[in-house]
Amino acid sequence: MTESKPSPNPGPAIQVQGIRKHFGHLEALRGIDFELKKGEFLSLFGPNGAGKTTLIGILSALTRPSSGTATVAGYDVKEADPEMRREIGVISHASFLYADLSPLENIRFYATMYGVDQAEERAIEVIDEVGLKPRMHDRVRTFSRGMLQRLSIARAIVHNPSILFLDEPYTGLDQHASEILKEQLQALHTDQRTILMTTHDFSRGLEMCDRVAIMVRGKLALWETVSNIDPAGFERQYLETVEQAKELR
Amino acid sequence: MNAYLSQVKAIVWKDFVTEFKTRELFSSMFVFAILVMLIFIFSINLSVVGANQVGPGILWVAILFAGTLGLNRSFTLEKENGCLQGLMLAPVDRSAIYFGKMLSNLSFLLIMETFLLPVFMIFFNVDIGSHLGPLLIVVFMGTLGFSALGTLLSSLSSNLKTREIMLPILLYPLIVPIAIGSVRMTGQILDGKSLADMMNWVGLILCFDIIFISVSIMTIDHILEE
């Protein structure tokens, strides 16, 4: 994998203070605070509806927070600065890929959108990195879920971002595809990219991360370094944390 | 500015490649437009009513109805696999997304009209060859306004479950000034008048073209947000 470009901004890669988000009467986020240093990998666990995707939406400047502040690569997410957008890549359960275009056409298109120099060459380079070069002229519509997710990685890193947001990237993947995705995420982490990943998969989530968080009903119920977590007992710890957080509400 | 133009160009290019591969949009718009014209031809006795009187109205009804099909598809394509979200994540000015989609829609409609005009000429037995220049200008001005407003409303309705119904309900009342102007001008051109004889209509359509494009640029940020 290509090494990420060094971020020009000193300080933490992600800083979140008192972020809240309302959708009408529903309070999706109820005051989130955390800080992630450059190069750190955070695995964020939580039940469905906990607010994980909303948090990623806010940090990637797709959704505006109702209150609170958040900076990503030193930029205020409310400003949605184009420079901030160049610093982040997002991999979601939706691929963001045009089904009737080929991988090369898709990635070259996104490279142009991000203002990447020599878009075609860069597109071929990242497609090769995710092992899809032999199929780069086929229609994306013919791809399996695993191949789509690998191509999503190529799309997300084509502009060489320093921060990656992964929203349940393992969803719908079989064991083989999960293993390939894991190897690619490991390579991205080795390149000193800051990564925030939401997942329901405990073993996948714990094996690569530096920090672990559990989110329940719009609040962080646990924030720990991975060295303080016992992988064997994490499922029980998770269930207890979720139950306690629900009772406290 | 170069980056902005590259992004607009990339969006148009992407829509053209998709259409070239699928051929869904052009064929459905063209067939629909011809069907609309055929229905009117069979229901009107052209020996009683002059083709120059009813022809322009039928031509523009066919263009607007067929164009609505294309507009409905325009942002639906962006919604598939969350592509619009992918575009929104990129450092792209929202107006570049609008202009890219608007130019794609405009181009598809103009190509469709290039094939439709000879069919119109044959169906209604009218000679458009001698008025081709002014007619093409009118068709372009009308189609520009329709695409400008239609692209904006297509982006707005694409988030709704009832988008196929909402788009025409929102679009047709607002497009009335351009539709009336285009029909009147097309009729007068077929009667042998020059554009100089109808500058009031030219002014009206151009005015609405500018209004629709300006309003779209001002509002597209809020429409695409969230």
At A65-83, the pLDDT tens digits run 999 999 999 999 998 888 9
Each residue's pLDDT tens digit, A157-183? 999 999 999 999 888 777 877 888 888
- 8-state DSSP, A210: S
Among the residues of B80-131, which ranges form H helices? 83-89, 94-124
* Mean residue pLDDT across chain B: 92
**How buried is residue B55: exposed, middle or buried, by Cβ count under 10 Å (0-12/13-18/19+)?**
buried
ipTM of the complex: 0.89
DSSP A90: E
- Given CB atoms, is A113 within the 8 Å cutoff of chain B? yes
Nearest CA in chain A to B13: A109
Say which amino acid occupies A9. Answer: N
Nearest residue of B to residue A138 by CA position?
B21
Looking at the structure of chain B, the number of domains it has is: 1
Say what the pLDDT of residue B44 is.
85
- pLDDT in the model for residue A249: 58
How crowded is residue A208: how many other Cβ atoms within 10 Å of its Cβ? 17
B77 contact residues in A (CB cutoff 8 A): 98
Are B82 and A92 an interchain contact pair (Cβ–Cβ within 8 Å)?
Answer: yes
pLDDT at B128: 84
Name every residue whose Cβ is closer than 8 Å to that of residue A194 and which is 6 or more positions away in sequence.
A13, A14, A36, A37, A38, A39, A40, A41, A162, A163, A164
| Measured distance CA(B204)–CA(B202) in Å, rounded | 5
Distance CA A217, CA A211 (A): 20
* Cβ separation A96–B6 shorter than 8 A: no
- Report the distance separating Cα B162 and Cα B156, nearest Å: 11
Q: Do B81 and A155 touch (CB under 8 A)?
A: no
Whole-structure pTM value: 0.90
Domain range for B153: 2-223
Tens digit of pLDDT for each residue in A214-230? 999 999 999 999 999 88
- For residue A74, the SS3 value is coil
Angle between the N-to-C axes of helices A103-113 and A119-129, in degrees from 0 to 180, rounded to the nearest 10: 120
Task: Note whether A101 contacts B81, CB cutoff 8 Å.
Answer: no
CA dist., res. A13 & res. B32, Å (int): 54
Range of weakest confidence among A120-124, A152-156, A228-232: A228-232
- As to burial, measured by CB atoms within 10 angstroms (0-12 exposed, 13-18 middle, 19+ buried), residue A25 is exposed
Nearest partner of B16 among B115, B78, B147, B105, judged by Cα: B105
C-alpha to C-alpha distance for A101 and A89, rounded to whole angstroms: 21
| pLDDT value at residue A247 | 72
- Highest mean pLDDT pick, A7-21, A78-92, B49-63, B135-149: B135-149
Specify whether the CB–CB gap between B66 and B30 falls below 8 A.
yes
